[in-house]
Structure 1
Amino acid sequence: MTHVRIKGFKIFKDRHGRMRCYHRETGHKIDLMKAPLGSAEFLAECEKIRTIVEANRARAPKVGTLGGLLLSYFETEHFANLAPATRRDYRQCADFLEPIRDTPIHVIDTPLVAGIHDKAARKIGWRRANMLRTLLSEVFRFAIPKGLISANFATGVIPKPRPASLAYANRPWEPEECALVLRHALPHVRVVLALLMNTGLDPSDALNLRRDQIDGETIWGVRGKTGVEVAIPIGATLRKALDAAPAHGAATLLANSRGEPWTYNGFSTVWHRFKTGLERDEGLAAGLTLKGLRHTVATTLREAGLDERRIADLLGQKTLSMARHYSRSANLAAKNRETMATLETENARRNAGGAKIVKPSGKSVKPETKEASK
């Protein structure tokens, strides 16, 4: 049999004596049973693979272009360490820039970036446009030290404001809404909502909590979005909810009806279906979101008189260095215990109809009447 050679393809006999063929660069295999070696079908397959490879090469970002800068940033460790959701959002923003990816670096300036930002606001909305601006700022920031671009031309672009006509995004829940949702939720859903209501955790962080992150009566963790450390005491209300949750064997603290760890998309789907049913059958007001429970905790504590720093510590809104990880987290746990006690007391007051107000000092005072205030 004549030995066939095709440039770019490896043709060989495997250990079973069967002929094999694959494209060296891509690893794409050709089925020699369907396209026998040397046949017209075989040559057609080889040509098809070469055509695809050449097309992909033509689409690859060129050095010295906006697309090249994006590719360089996506290969950085900084991008790899971002939360999966953030990486996905940045990739989608890069897709929006696809039509202009061959723009030479030397023509990029602030007016050009502002024009891209304006067009994005019209096409994909103000929020996505601001995310696109943030992506470009990060790309330029990491490209400057490499000598790929002279300046960060995104910093001078003014972010788009949130339209005043839009409803309050992730609005705080009312006590009656919390009670209604908990009353109708299935046990494996109720415990998730109770955790969000009583910690202020981000939904994705709550669903990813592992059992080994619970030490005694404290939740120890790191916010997935920002890497901020948190130390959240478990209050009596949350402890009761956790104890009443269905037993399961998952490594995570929370699990679905099959005893498996929740995925964010999985719980979001269940929540949306459940919430829609309550809006239809029980008159639940529209606009409730899972992230709104984080706002609920912050609002409740602020209304109770706690300062923003204490609230920020509970919600993990301060970046801590890894060198001071244990000492700072321990301090946070002690301080947050007082904060959590205030949240427990304030939630009880709100649910009871506001019989009394508890100040951070621990002293309770009666609500001021109109006559007394005169």
Structure 2
Amino acid sequence: MTGTVVRVKGIKRYFEPKTGRWYAYHRKSGRRLKAEFGTSEFFAELEAINAESKGLEARPGTLGALIESYRASAGFQSLKTRTKADYQKVLDYLRPLAPSPLVELTQGWVARLRDKTFAKKKRKFANYVLTVLSILFEHGIEQEMMASNPVSKVKRVRKPTDAPEANRPWMDFERDAVAAALPAHMALPVALMMYCGLDPQDALQLPRTAVSKGQLDTRRGKTGVPLWVPLPAPVIEALAAEPKHLTTTLTLCANSYGKPWTVSGFRASWRPIRQKLEEGGKVQPGLTLKGLRHTVATILREMGKDYATIAEMLGQKTEAMAKHYSRRADTSKKMAETVSDFDAEVNRRKTKTV
């Protein structure tokens, strides 16, 4: 029996690899529908949004008009699906403020919005709201809807000084402990992160065709920068040890059921392994999969590689990010030299005194 194809006007659907789910957005309002596509609850929710949106066109000169203009622009339309979805979360958050006249959106207005958002949504989202607002206002300047960007002089919410370092590099003993504790179906993706510096999402979504004759040929998902990397020996070993029932998937890595991983699914499997190792004192707190990119950058810098080489290895567009990722190696080397010089100076003074 042939399945029925459901086509719904005014709806934009997209697949989110991070969650492994399909989502639907109402084109006119930009709102995401919560109900499962095609269900009676979905059509009821859609009808309610249509009724709410009917006749509610944004008034010229308001934040709502600016948002509509930006969502229809080439700049927004050319964004990757994942980035659009991230921006849309902020635009949804700003919807109650849509009637606000643009002339009233001052630096103080933005600062107060930042503080309220921080109180409700914490630091990361508050800063992301500032980022998206700044993009909106730059679009407004380009379209001659406003004269200046009120976000430009508003400070981001700073990270607390006592907050733990995010995505810190792994220590050598931690890499060894994790590698020994991983089940067979998790060894290959972690090896790709650990030795090739791939983002978790890139490693999990890597097509099987990306590896040929001991060479990795792909692009970094976030930047689109090409990556051509000879596979390190540990990755080749992980490929050779891959369970045979996992070698038929379109993606290079697969879960224990032989299905492609989702990022959320892999993290759910990784979490108890990390927690058990922490409890056993085999790794220190703060271990993250993303930290493996920092680990690769740190090791390369300790080897004396320049920032351009590190950026190329990690698929980064600028050397600035390579410097950020390897900052611990630079600090460690500088302090080692400083302490050595200090020790020599103290000993010299001691000898002189005697």
Give me the TM-score of the superposition, normalised by structure 1. 0.67
**Residues in 2 aligned to 1:191 and 1:228: alpha-carbon distance in whole angstroms:** 22
**What's the offset of the Cα at 1:243?**
1.6
1:165 to 162, 167, 173: 162
Name the amino acid aligned to 2:299. Answer: T
Could you give the per-residue CA deviations for residues 312-340 of structure 1, whole angstroms, max 9, x where no partner exists? 11111127xxxxxxxxxxxxxxxxxxxxx
**What's the offset of the Cα at 1:171?**
0.8
Number of matched residues? Answer: 284
Contact 1:137 1:152 in 2 (8 A): yes
**Residues in 2 aligned to 1:95 and 1:162: alpha-carbon distance in whole angstroms:** 25
SS at match of 1:122: helix
Q: What are the ranges of 5 or more consecutive residues in structure 1 without an aligned counterpart?
A: 1-23, 27-47, 320-369
SS at match of 2:217: strand
SS at match of 2:142: coil
**Residues in 1 aligned to 2:277 and 2:110: alpha-carbon distance in whole angstroms:** 45
Aligned to 2:308: 309
**Residues in 2 aligned to 1:259 and 1:282: alpha-carbon distance in whole angstroms:** 32
Greater Rg over alpha carbons, structure: 1
Contact 2:200 2:290 in 1 (8 A): yes
**Residues in 2 aligned to 1:210 and 1:134: alpha-carbon distance in whole angstroms:** 32
Aligned to 1:145: 142
SS at match of 1:119: helix
The verdict on how the C-alpha distance between 1:229 and 1:279 changes in structure 2, with shifts beyond 3 A counting, is: same
Matches within 5 A, 1:156-195: 156-195=153-192
- The range that moved more, 156-165 or 83-92, is 83-92
Aligned to 1:70: 67
Contact 2:177 2:282 in 1 (8 A): no
Name the amino acid aligned to 2:305. Answer: L
Cα RMSD for the two superposed structures:
3.3
- The range that moved more, 92-101 or 57-66, is 57-66
> 2:200 matched to 1:199?
no
SS at match of 2:54: helix
Name the amino acid aligned to 1:305. Answer: G
2:116 to 114, 119, 135: 119
- The range that moved more, 292-301 or 158-167, is 158-167
> 2:37 matched to 1:57?
no
Aligned to 2:252: 253
Give me the TM-score of the superposition, normalised by structure 2. 0.70
Q: What are the ranges of 5 or more consecutive residues in structure 2 without an aligned counterpart?
A: 1-8, 12-44, 319-342, 349-354
The verdict on how the C-alpha distance between 1:180 and 1:58 changes in structure 2, with shifts beyond 3 A counting, is: farther
Contact 2:223 2:315 in 1 (8 A): no
**Residues in 2 aligned to 1:258 and 1:153: alpha-carbon distance in whole angstroms:** 51
The verdict on how the C-alpha distance between 1:300 and 1:210 changes in structure 2, with shifts beyond 3 A counting, is: same
**What's the offset of the Cα at 1:185?**
0.8
**Residues in 1 aligned to 2:180 and 2:73: alpha-carbon distance in whole angstroms:** 47
2:133 to 119, 132, 136: 136
Contact 2:251 2:260 in 1 (8 A): yes
Name the amino acid aligned to 1:189. Answer: M
Aligned to 2:39: none
Identity of aligned residues (%): 37
